[in-house]
Structure formats: structure tokens, C-alpha cells
Chains A and B, each alone.
Chain A
Amino acid sequence: MVDFRLDKEYEELRDSVRQFAREQVAPVIADHYEKKTFPYEVIRQMGSMGLFGLPFPEEHGGMGGDYFALCIALEELARVDSSVAITLEAAVSLGAMPIYRFGTEEQRKQWLPRLTSGAALAAFGLTEPGAGSDASGTLTRAVLDESTNEWVINGTKAFITNSGTDITCLVNVMAVTGTNPDGSKELSTIIVPSGTPGFTVAPGYSKVGWCASDTHELSFDDVRVPAANLLGERGRGYAQFLRILDEGRIAIAALSVGLAQGCVDESVTYAKNRTAFGHAISDYQAVKFLIADMDLRAHTARLGYYDAAARMLAGDDFKRYAAIAKLNASNAAMENSRWATQVHGGYGFMNESAVGRFYRDAKILEVGEGTSEVQRMLIARGLGL
């Protein structure tokens, strides 16, 4: 018998994060979004309530939870705001997780306590101006200088989340470190601490959405880091990135469900309170049905990510289910934000309204951590096509 209701402790975590998002994020986020400022105080509070340590064991400063606990937190944050949710997702799933999964004991001891407490943020430098999901297009190169036992890194990374905050401490950089016997590029991941000479963080992008999150282009000009900064084995970069992105898709699905659910929450409240032609607009079937369809999308998308997370935590092959969850949930987010803004009329077109921000934040969900087209490729591949 399958049962999608949450265990009591996950339900309590959901309540705790829900209350936090409503009380601490909702009142301040519109201002950060408008001014494109990073919400340091909110992030500090998220750190003190343990959100950055959710999937990590206590010995590394974590909360002793799992990846599903992270997903629950992401959903509840994104119900109110996606900028803080993506900051958490990138910091944990892309920043700290590679160090936890692939790092040496020294690397874990050096970096994880600060990362799992939220005192510092880490980023994942994969995407380049000419390479995204197709990592074989990576041009950033790292050459081992044997005279000094240092990696010398040159290249450019694009759209890197959390890479330029005052509390960013490192970027996991994917680089070409040689050529495999079959002629393909040998890819490896190297830890580059913030402030290393030659590592330049460009000013933040002007983005359509996620305006209170931190995103930069990074350039590496003869950046030297110790050979010991190699993350995991040399040449394993591609396999590492596949693992991290497969998991990350479930997290992005959870975040998308949060946005889709936030559209339902806001629309229900607004429709009950807004009158037109003598009635609350929630009295009109045309509006009721719009919101019912939103709820349908949010709920079914939630079941999709619950299922993918359960398969992942059970150790099953979850790649296809993560792709299904992400594709479906990002579609739900896009659709719901479209109709939630419609329910809100002119108010929905204002940046200060939550649904206006949801509308702007939804699009990237069809692109980040693998486009919808890449998700379809993965699903088809899972079917043997």
C-alpha cells in the first residue's frame, strides 16, 4: 500500500519552515526583490534554524535529515519566495553536497561546518557561455603545474548562483584537466576559494526573476590553487556532475511545486476578498475553475517529486523519475503563475504582488538544472528510445 502522507517529523519540519517563511520572508522579500539586494538577514535566520544542514549528518554540523527534508523546506520557502529557496537549493545541493559526497576527509572538515550552518555559501561552476547541460562543451582548463604542485585554471563560467555574496567561500569549478584515451575531454572538479588571485566575480546579472538571489559570471585568469583542491578523483567530473544534477532536479521540482502552491494560496485569498459586479470573484465559476486547475497541477506535481525522492533515498535508479518530476513541476509552476496573475488582474502585474514575482520566477524553472528538452531526452532514454 502506498501512502503519500508525510511522516510526523517531516510534517513538523514543513510547519516550522512554513511559519518561518510567512513571518520572516514574506514581509521583507518584495523590497529585496525590487532593489535586487541579497537578503543576508533572512539567510542568517535560515542558517540558525538549520536549513543549510538538513541533508547532512550531525558530525559535519548537519541536522541528520535527508534529501527529502531539504525538498520539503524548499517547497515551503518557494510558496512565499523563490529567491531564498534557490539560494538554499544551490548552497546545499550544488555547493556543499559535492564536498560531502566526493570530498576527502580534510576537505569535509575544512568546509562543511561553515556550509552546513549557513555561515558561508558555496557555488557550483559548471555552466559556461558556450556549455550547459552538454558538459563536453566545457572550455575552462586546469593544468597541473608540477613544479609548485598547483592547478592553474583559466576560463569563464556563466550564471553561477551564490558565487558573489559577502559570505561565499568557494566555487566548485568544473574544468578540462586532460584528454581521455577515447579522445574525449577529461573533466574534473576543483575547489576554488573566494578571493584567490585571478578569480574575478563580475557584477550581478540583471535577471527577469529570482531578483533577490545572487548570480554572476566568473572569470579565472591563471588562478592557482593547491593540487589537493581536486574534488574526488581526477577525471570523475562528468560522473559527479550527473549525480549532483539528477538529485538537483528533484530539489528544483520541489521548489517549482512551492511556487505552484503559492499561486493557489494567493489566488484563494484574493478571490475571496475581491469583489466585481456585486460578488466576490470567487463566486464566479470561471474563477473557481481556474483555481481548481491550479490546485490540481500543484498537488499532482508534488506527488511526482515525493515519488522521485523516495526512489532516490531507497537507492533505486531515479534518473527518469527525477526528470519527470522536474518537467511536470516546472510546467505546473509556469501555468499556475500565468493563471494566478490573471485572477489578480492589474495587481498581478505589479512587482510588489507575490504572484507578479511568481510569474517572473517561474520561467527559469523550465531552464535551470536541465531544460525541459533535456528532461524529455532523459525520459525517452529511460524508455530505451
Chain B
Amino acid sequence: MNIVVLVKQVPDSGAERTLSADFSVDRASSSNVINEMDEYAIEEALKIKEAHGGEVTVLTVGPAGATDSIRKALSMGPDKAVHVQDDALHGSCAVATSKVLAAALRTLSPDLILSGAESTDGRVQVVPHMLAELLGVAALTGARKLTVDGSQLTVERQTDEGYEVVTAATPAIVSVWDTINEPRYPSFKGIMAAKKKPVQALTLGDLGISGDEVGFAGATSQVLEFNKRPARTGGAKVVDEGNGGEQLVSYLASEKFV
């Protein structure tokens, strides 16, 4: 099975994050890492390859600094990578990013596209759906379990209430949550091997996309203002006046813990 995993480099969600003067993600002021959910997508791809054979390619759209994340992704075990890099991409919205990813995916003809269900910087969760639309393939999103049987994919799709079972034939795109597996840690052998794995560089020109379709110029949405995350508050205090248990349960229910 020819599998492509979408890997995005994001600012470390554990550190303080902010936006630059042009309201794009500030990559300089914090360390940049693989989007956490994408590591689960890589692990799922490797497990499918180990069970069914095939090839795993990492696809990244991002600036030059994203090579560190590509290398880390390759050290987990994928065979090769494609890095779409172009200065004109700076400021791209989800629609434009999807156009670029779709064009790159057409050159790779994958049976299965895997991605994280969301990225920790944008958190819009729309790219997998947009790609499915652009490529004319099925979208099985928010998976907590994926079973491959020949060309048939079965996914347990996580919801707030439980899960739905959805199926589709390949080619298809599957986005995954962090409940799907436990990603492996790169071994020293994997780290050394990653240095020799091919990373194909593509520009917008290679994909037949003009600069004004992407970046700030081609953006369909615009950030007008932003605020810092509000400081943590003391939370709500429940005073037990005979109905403490009820109040506790209704709080837990409102937060969907029960």
C-alpha cells in the first residue's frame, strides 16, 4: 500500500506561543516540533506497512526550518519525504494549503493519506476534508481505530458520545486522534538511517501553482486581531447545601466527563 502521511511543523504547544507582526504564526520565538497528532498518523502508517507491506512517504508544506521535523519523522521509520517549500506560501490559509497539498499528493498517487485530526497551532480540523474534496476521495476523519482489509478501510470515528463505524474503499484520507496508537520513539538506528533517506524538494512552480493563489495574497480568511490567552482563573467553587452531589454531577456532565 502506498501511504502518504501529512506532517506539519508547529510551535511547541508546551511553550508560550504568539503571532508575528503580520499575524502569521511566530516560528522564531519558540521551538518548532512535529504536530503531535501527526506522530500518531506516522505510527499508524508504519503499522500498516509492517502488516501489509508498501511504502510510507512523509509530505510537508512548510519553510526551510521544517526539515528538522521531516528528519525526525523519517527517523521513526518512513521511507522518504516530500517537502514543498516556497517563500510565497507564507501566510497561506487552510484552503490554499489544501490546494498545495492536493497538487503534491497527485504526484504521489497514494492509496491512503493519513494525517493528524488537527494541528495544535491552527486547530481548524478542515484540511483533511478539503483534500478529500479536491482529490475526489473519501474522507474518514477523527479515527480512533483503523482496520485495513485489502482496499477496504474501516474506521472507528470518535465522537463526543462514543464512536461511529465508517467504511470506504481506497484511495481515501484518514485523519487520526491520539487514541489510535502509541507512537514509537526514534531509535539510534532510525536516526542514522534518516540521514540517508531521500527528501524531494518541490516549489509552487513544480506543482503548477502561481504565487498569488497562496500566501497572504490568496488567503480566503484574514486574522484581524488577536488576544493573549486569559490568565487562569480560580475556577468555580461548589458549596454543598444539601445538593452538592447534584451540582458535582451536573458539572461533570457539562464537561462531558460522565
User: Does B47 make an interface contact (CB < 8 A)?
Assistant: no
Q: In the complex, are the beta carbons of B191 and A58 less than 8 A apart?
A: no
Closest CB of chain B to A251's CB: distance in Å? 16
Partner of B186, one of A12, A54, A65: A12
Residues of A within 8 A of B192 (CB): 9, 63-65
Q: In the complex, are the beta carbons of B187 and A50 less than 8 A apart?
A: yes
Please measure, in the bound complex, the distance between the C-alpha atom of A13 and the C-alpha atom of B191, giving whole angstroms.
Answer: 7
Closest CB of chain B to A343's CB: distance in Å? 23
Closest CB of chain A to B77's CB: distance in Å? 12
In the complex with contacts A9-B195, A12-B72, A12-B75, A63-B188 CB distance below 8 A: yes
Of all chain B residues, which has the CB nearest A72?
A: B188
Residues of A within 8 A of B71 (CB): 12
Please measure, in the bound complex, the distance between the C-alpha atom of A63 and the C-alpha atom of B188, giving whole angstroms.
Answer: 6
Per-position binary interface string of chain A over residues 1-39, scored 1 when its CB falls under 8 Å from any chain B CB and 0 otherwise: 000000001001101110110000000000000000000
Q: In the complex, are the beta carbons of B188 and A65 less than 8 A apart?
A: yes
Partner of B185, one of A16, A58, A63, A64: A16
Q: In the complex, are the beta carbons of B185 and A9 less than 8 A apart?
A: no
Per-position binary interface string of chain B over residues 59-94, scored 1 when its CB falls under 8 Å from any chain A CB and 0 otherwise: 000000000000110010000000000000000000
In the complex with contacts A9-B192, A64-B192, A48-B186 CB distance below 8 A: no
Partner of A63, one of B184, B189, B195: B189
Q: In the complex, are the beta carbons of A48 and B184 less than 8 A apart?
A: yes
Q: In the complex, are the beta carbons of B188 and A64 less than 8 A apart?
A: yes
Q: In the complex, are the beta carbons of B184 and A9 less than 8 A apart?
A: no
Please measure, in the bound complex, the distance between the C-alpha atom of A96 and the C-alpha atom of B86, giving whole angstroms.
Answer: 49
User: Does A69 make an interface contact (CB < 8 A)?
Assistant: yes
In the complex with contacts A12-B72, A12-B75, A54-B188 CB distance below 8 A: yes
Per-position binary interface string of chain B over residues 157-186, scored 1 when its CB falls under 8 Å from any chain A CB and 0 otherwise: 000000000000000000000000000111
Residue pairs across A and B with Cβ atoms less than 8 A apart, 18 shown, are: A9-B191, A9-B192, A12-B72, A12-B75, A12-B191, A15-B72, A16-B187, A16-B191, A17-B185, A49-B184, A50-B187, A50-B189, A58-B189, A63-B188, A64-B188, A64-B192, A65-B189, A65-B192
Give me 18 other A-B pairs in contact (C-beta within 8 A), A12-B72, A16-B185, A65-B189 excluded.
A9-B195, A12-B186, A13-B186, A16-B75, A16-B187, A17-B185, A48-B184, A49-B184, A49-B187, A50-B187, A50-B189, A50-B190, A54-B188, A63-B187, A64-B188, A64-B192, A65-B192, A69-B188
Q: Which 3 A-B pairs have the closest CB atoms?
A: A50-B187, A63-B188, A49-B185
